[in-house]
Structure formats: structure tokens, C-alpha cells
Structure 1
Amino acid sequence: FLCRTHGMQLLFTNRESYRDKPALFNKYCGDDNTAFFIDEGGASPEAAKGCSELITELDKPFNHIFCACGTGTTAAGIINGIKDNGFTAEFHAVPVLKGDFMKAEIDRYLVAPHPYHLHSNYHFGGYAKTTPELIDFVKEFTALTGILIEPVYTGKLFYAIFDLIKAGHFKPGSRILAVHTGGLLGLLGMRDKF
């Protein structure tokens, strides 16, 4: 509905064809020089460069900057932005998927090596997986703050931040920035949990 409302033309395919998305793009859009191929999750050097510009929007210093990670592209972009703009903030990535691959994914789009923290124990079972504890946290956080979050990305992000604060991970008075990456439409498919 929303895609069509905004002028998108949806093309349906089988799983086998879908595995080779660049070939599908070339088949349907190869002759259109105004078309761009953007893979799931938006992972690309161009996406990382775009995300690096988020840092230039900051008008106050932060000690810590957090974001949730799916492909690692947003994280890499923010890390590049921290380094390129001379910020001293420590970056924290919160992967929402299970597995030990996130460091390699983030490092793939770094312009130059730069230290960061990877908090891999807040995936709650994997991508789009939830637990009653996470759902309760999402509800409580939204009720207390008025900030809408969802359990796939931002719920895991804020849960991690709150858990690390409770564990005394940060010095008192630390300024923490959480990058809210959206994903709120995913709530529509989870109405039964709320």
C-alpha cells in the first residue's frame, strides 16, 4: 500500500531469481541511467558515506554514540564521520542479528581503522526475534519517554544502553547519543505483541 502510494512499481519474483538481485536489476532497470541498485539494508560505500554526514549535524559534544546494526553500514558511516570530523566520542554498535560477522561488515566500509565497541549480546535470539522481556521494555520505554521504538532495531538499541548504564559502564555525567534509525513500520506486523 505505502509503496504504491509513493509511486513504486512492485515486481514479484521467485526465490531463485531473487538470489541474484543485481541480475534482476539489470533485467528490469539496466537501460535506465536514472535507476540505482540499493541492496537490502542499503549496504554500500555510498550509504556509509551518507551516514558519515550525520556527525556534521551535531552541535554538542557527546562521550558515547550508539546505533543498532543490521548490515553495519550506518555504524561504519558514523565511525568514519567521528574520525573525519575530529570527534572524541566513543562509538558503540548494537548488532540485532546473531553471529560473529558484524565486525567484518563494519570494517568493510571504514575509510581507515578506528576503534569502536561492539555489544553483540543484545540480539534477543536474532533478527526480528523478540522475548517478553524486550516487548515489555519497548512498551515501558515508549510510555515513559513518548519516543516510539520497535523490537527489531531501536528496542534492542535502547535496551542495550539502559542495561550498560545500570551495569555502571559509563562515567557519571557522560553524554550519550542514541541514533534512532526508524523501522517503525515494522510495528504493523507485530500488532499481536502490543
Structure 2
Amino acid sequence: MKVMILNTGCANLASLKYSIKKLGFNAIISSNIDKLSTSDKLFIPGVGTPMAAMKKIKLNNLYSFIKNYKGLVLGICLGMQLLCHVSEECLGVKMLDVFNVKVIRIKAENIFLPHNGWNTVNWDNKNILFKNINEKERFYFLHSYALPINKYTVCRSNYGINFSAAIQKNNFFGVQFHPEKSGSAGSKLIKNFLEI
């Protein structure tokens, strides 16, 4: 199995690569379409803005490649949001539109942004990503924008508002939190994804 991490130019890629290596898998970081096309699993991480990440994706001719990718994809934080239709953070930027959902800014009284730190997640029907992970487990979040609850939501969290903590559509998965920074629960989730 070949595991790749998409270099969006907007992420601390080393920590994700190290988390994958600790599980016994080797991951290659790349934005080269020829290398990425040989992969079975693709991580799309992200810290930063959709504008910068989409600029890099389009510069490397990866827009159609990602939308039509046949392996398994896991978008992390901004990487999950990039898979959506549009974001309030930059309404003029066309995102990947795998999930026809609008990313919104978290708006609630008496909260500070970004949502930064540990928070619980809850699910109605347990997704394969959360195999052997206890309900109400805590994961590490760092974001000011989020996906509302929608038909693709498999797991939710709350920070002033309820939002999608994880989504899935066919071979595309996304998590709003950072599993690579979420201790043993995050490691289990990455392992579950790699073993699908």
C-alpha cells in the first residue's frame, strides 16, 4: 500500500508523517501529480487559508485529480474544508466541491476564536474511522470555520454551535480536528483509515 500526504503548502506535514510512521507505515509528502497518482491512500492536511491551499492545488494541476481520486482520501482540518463547495473565509475561491456544503465562520455569543484545544465528539451511527474509539473521546481542534451538520456528517462536536467533526462521502473522509495531535485516540483513527 502506498500512502501519500498532499503538500498544500499550508501545513505542518512532519507531524502527520511521523504519526503515520509510528503506526508502521511510510508516507511520502508530495504535490507532484505523477507521484500522487500511484497512491492508495491520500491525506490532505491543512493549517492556513483555503485561498493559499487552492492556489497550490491548481498550480500543480491537482484540482481534477483530487475530485476524481479513486483511492481513499482523509482531509484534516483545512484539508476537510477544501473538499467542500465554498467557504465564508474566501467566498470567491472555488474549492474542490466533493461535498456540496458551505463552510461557515463559527458565530456564537461568549466564545473566543479560534476554537483551540481538546473537545469531545459524538456520533449517531459509528463510522469506520472511529472503530475501537470510545464515544465522547476528546480530540484536538484548532479552527475558526466549520461545516454545519449536514447529510455527510458522521460525527459532531460543539463550540458555541453544533458542527461536523467528521464527514464521509464514498471514498472521501474528513475530520475537523487534528488526529496527529490527538494522542492515542488520534493514532487509532489514523490507523483505522490506513487499514480500511
Shorter-chain TM-score above 0.5: no
| TM bucket normalised to smaller | 0.3 to 0.5
Per residue, is there more helix in 1 or in 2? Answer: 1
Whose strand fraction is larger, Structure 1's or Structure 2's? 2
TM-score, reference length from structure 2: 0.33
Which of structures 1 and 2 has the bigger CA Rg?
A: 1
